[in-house]
Amino acid sequence: MTEHVIRIRVQVRESGGKAFHEVEVSDENPRLSHLLQAVSQEAWGERFFEAGDEPARLKPGHLLVLENRMVQPWEIEDTTVSDGQTLSFVPVVAGG
């Protein structure tokens, strides 16, 4: 049995502009929640998540955009990801 691995590009804003990271997820039917779990384990990705019982609980202040589509928090568990897609953490300011 071969392991199914997909690679997703993750875009984050850094002080010098946008940075891209590649994250691998091993799962037969990967969901966005699996990808976020993987991102939360990366040194560059820890800052987007709350510390506590749920390692992949997002902190306020960023929108998730998967392939030009904003993903709502309640859609994370049901949204599938596939090889070659791009996930962006887009910073938002309270009050618009």
Q: Is 29 helix (H, G, I), strand (E, B) or coil?
A: coil
pTM: 0.86
CATH code for the domain of 15: 3.10.20.30
The string of pLDDT tens digits covering residues 43-56 is: 999 899 887 666 57
The string of pLDDT tens digits covering residues 25-74 is: 988 889 999 999 999 999 999 899 887 666 578 888 889 999 999 999 89
**In a domain? residue 96:** no
For residues 1-25, average pLDDT: 86
* Residue 1, pLDDT score: 44
For residues 63-92, average pLDDT: 93
Q: What whole-number distance in Å separates Cα of residue 68 and Cα of residue 3?
A: 28
- Give the domain range for residue 34: 5-91
Residue 71: both structure tokens together? 């993903």
What's the domain count of the chain? 1
**In a domain? residue 42:** yes
